[in-house]
């Protein structure tokens, strides 16, 4: 039943009340109930203006102006903030700002990428520059923060710690790995029935094997990039040499032969000198021998 039909029903009830008072008084509450039932789907079925950010579409935050809330369904403070955040999102089109939210229980990678340490956490983003909102959490304060550009008084996050940096990308992967380990731990305990120490043993062995594999890979890469300097044996000169390369060898051989000749000549001269000295000494001894005999006689 539409709103017009409900209003017509109310009017009919009012008109009939002029003729029959008891019947009009009975129809009026029924018309009010029908009107509420007609308006209820319009309010409950209304689409939320808050956009949901995930690991797949988070790069959309790098363009335009955004207000992002990081929350968890079990967080009481987050639950109290939801009505204010939803009503603030209704002003998003007028303020030309996109209002979004991130469920950290479903998106652990984004919680690591933005370093979420408390809940709820609100960020403001303008063309890729992220600033952390730390003001009051009311609809009016959110609107003033955007309309009066109060975000300019807050310094942006360093590019080193920005969500698009390599450091935060590795942090996101680490958070996703931790959630993956937790999921497998629950699978080992609940589905397979392993004890807690059995699950820890499996992860310890997996850690040792992965560390061994990564170590071998690092050694292989290091050997490829920086090979160790080893003394290689000098190859023997080949018999067949080119004429250009044979000329220096010939010169070396000639020089060696000349040196050998010089050495042989010097040895010959030294030998001759020693022979002459020996002969002279022998002659002297012979000449001295008879003179000594005559002296004795």
pLDDT value of position 88: 94
Domain boundaries of the chain, sorted by first residue: 51-164, 167-222
Angle at CA of residue 57, ends 54 and 58, nearest 5°:
75
pTM reported for the whole predicted model: 0.53
pLDDT value of position 80: 94
Indicate which residue of 75, 125, 217, 226 is catalytic: 75
Q: How many CA atoms lie within 13 A of 237 on its CB side?
A: 8
Per-residue pLDDT of the chain (297 residues; tens, 9 = 90+): 444 444 444 345 444 444 433 444 545 555 555 555 555 444 444 567 899 999 889 989 988 999 999 999 999 999 999 999 999 999 988 999 999 999 998 888 888 888 888 999 999 999 889 999 999 999 999 999 999 999 999 988 887 887 877 887 887 777 777 778 878 888 888 888 888 888 888 888 888 888 888 888 988 888 888 877 665 555 555 555 455 445 565 666 677 676 666 656 666 666 566 656 666 665 666 554 545 444 444
Q: Is the Cβ–Cβ distance between 43 and 61 less than 8 Å? A: no
Distance CA 8, CA 167 (A): 65
Indicate which residue of 78, 125, 217, 224 is catalytic: 78
78 is catalytic: yes
pLDDT value of position 55: 87
Sequence-separated (6 or more) residues with CB below 8 Å from residue 155: 131
- Which residue, among 104, 79, 103, 100, has the nearest Cα to 89 in the 3D structure? 100
Q: Is the Cβ–Cβ distance between 199 and 189 less than 8 Å? A: yes
Superfamily of domain 51-164: Glutaredoxin (3.40.30.10)
Distance CA 286, CA 290 (A): 7
Strand order in the sheet with 121-126: 51-52, 98-103, 65-71, 121-126, 129-133
Distance CA 276, CA 269 (A): 11
75 is catalytic: yes
pLDDT value of position 22: 41
Sequence-separated (6 or more) residues with CB below 8 Å from residue 196: 189
Distance CA 121, CA 81 (A): 11
The DSSP result for the chain, as a single string, is: --HHHHHHHHHHHHHHHHH-HHHHHHHHHHHHHHHHHHHHHHHHTPPPSPEE--TTTGGGGGSSEEEEEEE-TT-HHHHHHHHHHHHHHTTHHHHT-EEEEEETTT-HHHHHHTT--SSSEEEEEETTEEEEE-S--SHHHHHHHHHTTGGGGSPPPPGGGSTTSHHHHHHHHHHHHHHHHHHHHHIIIIIS---HHHHHHHHHHHHHHHHHHHHHHHHHHHHHHS----PPPPPPPPSS--HHHHHHHHHHHHHHHHHHHHHHHHHHHHHHHHHHHHHHHHHHHHHHHHHHHHHH-
pLDDT value of position 281: 66
As a residue count, the chain comes to 297
Query: In DSSP terms, which residues pair with 198 in a beta bridge?
Result: none
pLDDT value of position 250: 63
């Amino acid at each position: 039943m539409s709103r017009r039909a409900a209003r017509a029903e109310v009017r009919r009830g009012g008109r009939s009340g002029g003729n029959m008072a008891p019947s009009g008084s009975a129809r009026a509450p029924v018309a009010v109930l029908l009107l509420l039932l007609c308006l209820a789907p319009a309010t409950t079925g209304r689409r939320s203006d808050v956009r949901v950010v995930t690991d797949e579409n988070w790069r959309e935050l790098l363009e335009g102006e955004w207000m992002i809330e990081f929350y968890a369904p079990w967080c009481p403070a987050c639950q109290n903030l939801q009505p204010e955040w939803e009503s603030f999102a209704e002003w998003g089109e007028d303020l030309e700002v996109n209002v979004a939210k991130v469920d950290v229980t479903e998106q652990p990678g984004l919680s690591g990428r933005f370093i979420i340490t408390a809940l709820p956490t609100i960020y403001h983003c303008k063309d890729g520059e992220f600033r952390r909102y730390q003001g009051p959490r009311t609809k009016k304060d959110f609107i003033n923060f955007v309309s009066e550009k109060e975000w300019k008084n807050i310094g942006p996050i360093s590019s080193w710690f920005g969500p698009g940096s390599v450091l935060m990308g590795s942090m996101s992967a680490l958070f996703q790995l931790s959630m993956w380990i937790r999921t497998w731990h629950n699978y080992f305990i609940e589905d397979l029935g392993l004890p807690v120490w059995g699950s820890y043993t499996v992860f310890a062995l997996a850690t040792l094997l992965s560390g061994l594999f990564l170590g071998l890979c690092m050694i292989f890469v290091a050997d490829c990039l920086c090979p160790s300097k080893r003394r290689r044996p000098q190859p023997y000169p080949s018999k067949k040499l080119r004429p250009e390369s044979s000329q220096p060898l010939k010169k070396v051989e000639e020089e060696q032969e000349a040196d050998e000749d010089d050495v042989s000549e010097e040895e010959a001269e030294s030998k001759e000198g020693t022979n002459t000295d020996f002969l002279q000494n022998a002659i002297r001894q012979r000449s001295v021998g008879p003179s000594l005999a005559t002296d004795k006689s």
